[in-house]
């Protein structure tokens, strides 16, 4: 039996508009020739149930800050620059075996509304038939992980912080850093 991925907050910067892209590649803005600034990363994983069975009907909405730590959401008053070539949000389904692949840039840390810095992370809103999970994925080895408002409190909330942190993976693509993270749904 697999432990389900923990529920988290939608956060202050949930997309105010539906994603305009169903392309799981956020390194380019649809219709523009430029590329997003920052370290290109690839995240692969699978959406599974607690028995380890794939959930091929699962849909993902992801949103994140750009490499400078700024969301495209108009509520984000961070003074970090917006990246005109980074959409910051996408919606896409998983493959028949529950697999997904997200290509993006590593998000930067940013000040959250209470004034503390959030460690780099990516938000996931996962739906499958009658179940919805909103969660956040974090990166290994980040200096801010131990101080992050949400990640640092997972153990106190009876959750395994390690389950929220993706793991390094391999890729044959030069200049791309790869990670793996599976999402386990209660269905």
Q: Which residues are catalytic?
A: 71, 110, 118, 121, 123
Strands, sheet with 131-138, edge to edge from the N-terminal-most edge strand: 89-93, 59-63, 121-128, 131-138
The Cα 37–Cα 27 span in angstroms is 8
Query: In this structure, what token pair is assigned to residue 83?
Result: 């990246």
Q: Is 153 in a helix, a strand, or coil?
A: helix
Provide the CB-side half-sphere exposure for 52 (13 A, CA): 2
């Amino acid at each position: 039996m697999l432990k389900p991925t923990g529920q988290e907050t939608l956060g202050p910067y949930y997309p105010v508009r539906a994603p305009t892209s169903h392309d799981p590649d956020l390194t380019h803005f649809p219709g523009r020739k430029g590329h997003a600034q920052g370290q290109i990363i690839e995240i692969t994983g699978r959406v599974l149930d607690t028995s380890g069975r794939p959930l091929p009907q699962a849909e993902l909405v992801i949103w994140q800050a750009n490499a400078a730590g700024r969301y495209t959401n108009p509520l984000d008053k961070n003074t970090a620059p917006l990246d005109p070539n980074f959409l910051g949000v996408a919606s896409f389904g998983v493959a028949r075996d529950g697999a997904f692949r997200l290509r993006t840039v590593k998000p930067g840390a940013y000040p959250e509304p209470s004034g503390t810095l959030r460690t780099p992370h990516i938000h996931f809103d996962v739906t499958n038939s009658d179940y919805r999970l909103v969660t956040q994925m974090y990166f290994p080895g980040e200096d801010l992980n131990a101080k992050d408002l949400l990640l640092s409190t997972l153990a106190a909330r009876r959750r395994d912080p390690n389950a929220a942190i993706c793991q390094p993976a391999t890729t044959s693509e030069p200049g791309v850093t790869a990670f793996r993270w599976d999402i386990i749904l209660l269905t």
